[in-house]
Chain A
Amino acid sequence: MTARLLVIGLALVFAASYAAAQVGADKRRSGYQDMGEALQKMQDDDTANPGMLFVQLGGQLWNRAVGAADKSCADCHGDAAVSMKGVAARYPAIPQGSDRPVDLEGRINLCRTEHQKAEPLPPENRDLLALAVYVAHQSRDLQIAPPYDPRLDAFRREGAEIYRLRQGQLNLSCAICHDDNAGKKLAGIVIPEAHPTGYPIYRLEWQALGSLKRRLRNCLVGIRAEAWPLDAPEYVALELYLMQRARGLKLETPAVRP
């Protein structure tokens, strides 16, 4: 009897430690975990998170008819809570009839030009970011799930190469900071692992909502490299690689960062 209990007890211990090892296997950290408690609370509270103002604005724009076609997003897509759920988790993707991937903002502009017959919105435009954050917010708490699409492989490889390419006067690559030295400090700030879990993000430093593209330009300027033009395909390639790298992490949109 005692022997049997001992066996069961040991089995339980093994099962528990195996489960713990499985949880511990994924050591990736969202930037959220490296923020102070005050900022985490700010992000978690939907009436204190300034990003939610833009989600509210995005919801208004979603229902507003624009362009020569006089159509709103809702006229085609209906309720975003249903139709847009999970979309941000699998972008960038290749739109139908194209051979190049686009990010979420790019997709919104495609909808504007093709279906609404409206002018595309310029990069970092407030309304464009508001629509993007509204769409991405519908995927909050879902896991990042890049699609299996062999056509994307070449772009992901390109993104991975850019990630490891030394650039700028400081001669740094993304990987040197965000892989090799992540978790250590740079000028008193924890270097994050660079997982795009909450874009578009509300950055306190910007006092505004910004896209991943803006964040990447920020890094390029930081290593004193020349930033690519705003419509460059490099950003989408890098985003494809980063999303692949962050596969399975939860989306937080709209995230707050210092």
Chain B
Amino acid sequence: MSNILVNAPKTAKRGAAIEIKALIMHPMETGFRPGPNGRIIPRNIIERFTATWNGAEIFTMDMSPAIAANPFVSFFAEAKESGTVVLRWTGDEGFAAEQRVDIAVE
């Protein structure tokens, strides 16, 4: 289970641009750093972040080793219809996390 914090409005006016902010706990290990034993710590990063609104993709992002631990993502989306925004993070070592947010559009 992942620790995730999402900040999105519960309601939005139709056609308005709303900001969705998401923070997730993840080490974002670069794969370039030696560990205490001198060996390189294997890379362990989130590779991809996607957001869908009622199944339709509204935002995607490819992440790289240069992104700091516990990445924070903020993006805008147009509020077209009430529904569920699904935020999904996938990455190395089979990492997968998901968070759902319900937004009512008036």
Contacts and interface: CB of A to CB of B under 8 A. Distances in A.
B70 interface: yes
Interface in B1-23: 1, 3-7, 21, 23
Interface in A53-92: 53-54, 56-57, 60
Interface string B12-49: 00000000010111001000000000000000000000
Interface in A36-57: 45-48, 50, 52-54, 56-57
Given A53-B3, A207-B68, A48 B25 contact: no
Contacts, number: 38
Most chain B beta carbons < 10 A, residue from A53, A54, A204, A208 = A53
Contacts of A48: 7, 21, 23, 72
A50 B7 contact: no
The range of chain A's interface size is 10 to 19
B3 A57 contact: yes
B70 to A, nearest CB: 4
A47 B69 contact: no
B3 A56 contact: yes
Given A207-B69, A207-B70, A47 B3 contact: no
B5 A204 contact: no
A208 B69 contact: yes
Interface of B: 1, 3-7, 21, 23-25, 28, 68-70, 72
Given A56-B3, A207-B28, A208-B69, 8 more contacts: A46-B5, A47-B6, A48-B72, A50-B23, A53-B25, A53-B70, A56-B5, A60-B1
